[in-house]
Amino acid sequence: MNQVQQLDSSLERAVEAYNLATVKLNRVRADLKANHVQLRIAKQSLKRAQAALSARLVSLYTSDGQSDSLEVLLGASSLDDLVNRFNTANRISAQDSTVLGQVRHYDNEVKAREVRLKHANAEAAALVRERASEQASIQGQLAARRALLTSIHGEIAHLRAQEAARQAELRRELAARVAAQQQQAPAAAISSTVAPVSSSSGGSSRSGSVGPAPPPSHSSVVSVAMRYLGTPYVWGGASPSGFDCSGLVMYAFAQVGVSLPHSSYAQYGMGSPVSRDQLQPGDVVFFDGLGHVGIYVGGGSFIHAPHTGDVVKISSISGWYASTYVGARRM
């Protein structure tokens, strides 16, 4: 079971690294799209400014008394050189200055955006490679985990049955308390909490019972998460058909109007920090070097999507979770 726990932890970190790479890649792709649009606009503006400059140079060349204009036109080796020569010919008007300024501005903008696009494309390519590497890592770790689980399949099935029975009891108890609270005080917010429950699938018994209810400001996201107890873990999942840990947190908060990224690492940068002794239901709790995340429900327990082969469940911040606890954020 310790080996399984270690593999689960390693796998979860790989999944969340994959999710973080996906968040970064989506951001880079959005920037690429915006830059392509702006580059196209800048090139069109440059083309119009160059046309205006060309017309002005032709006018200078063909007008009387402008013998030095031939030097300006024929002596230039590039657009930049032509603009510089024309600018220093000591006979430009205010209109000429405007045309020159437009050509220079749009020429510089096109060059700068082409450089940005080159860098963004390189960054996107690197992120694609990173995603592929993380995906290969996940697949390899899944294979190792399946092999290990197969070797202890009988014992795992027994332990899972015990855990499922405990989770069902917790769910019934919590639902009954919530219903009772609503009947007794319809105007009051749901404030039930869940007693700590063993996070191990090793069959240790649950202690305590459902206690006082959570504050109304935090109960909504807890209620949302409760609806998906029993939903299977799916790496990369962020819908009722399957969740990974950060996908569950992102989805639950989206239902109450709070937008979060699909990555435990990125989620840790959101909201404000909360000390462990000040945790309230609805706070987001992080473990294992930010490789795992869940939603605190009170009483030292939290709802989360643990790992491949498991389901969304209620666990206690004790044992392994206590030893790998990183911190919490209030969104």
262 is catalytic: no
* Catalytically annotated residue among 218, 262, 304, 307: 304
The CA distance from 141 to 11, in Å, is: 6
Six-digit token pair at 273?
């920090």
The CA distance from 158 to 166, in Å, is: 13
To 10 degrees, the CA torsion angle through 208, 213, 215, 217?
110
CB 289 within 8 A of CB 223: no
CB 12 within 8 A of CB 245: yes
CB 315 within 8 A of CB 299: no
* Catalytically annotated residue among 153, 158, 218, 292: 292
Six-digit token pair at 272?
């404000």
* Catalytically annotated residue among 153, 158, 218, 245: 245
292 is catalytic: yes
| Number of Cβ atoms within 10 Å of the Cβ of 59 | 11
DSSP-derived 3-state class of residue 308: coil
Nearest CA to 304 out of 12, 2, 5, 3 is that of: 12
| Number of Cβ atoms within 10 Å of the Cβ of 141 | 19
Angle at 217 between CA 169 and CA 314, to 5 degrees: 25
Catalytic residue list? 245, 292, 304
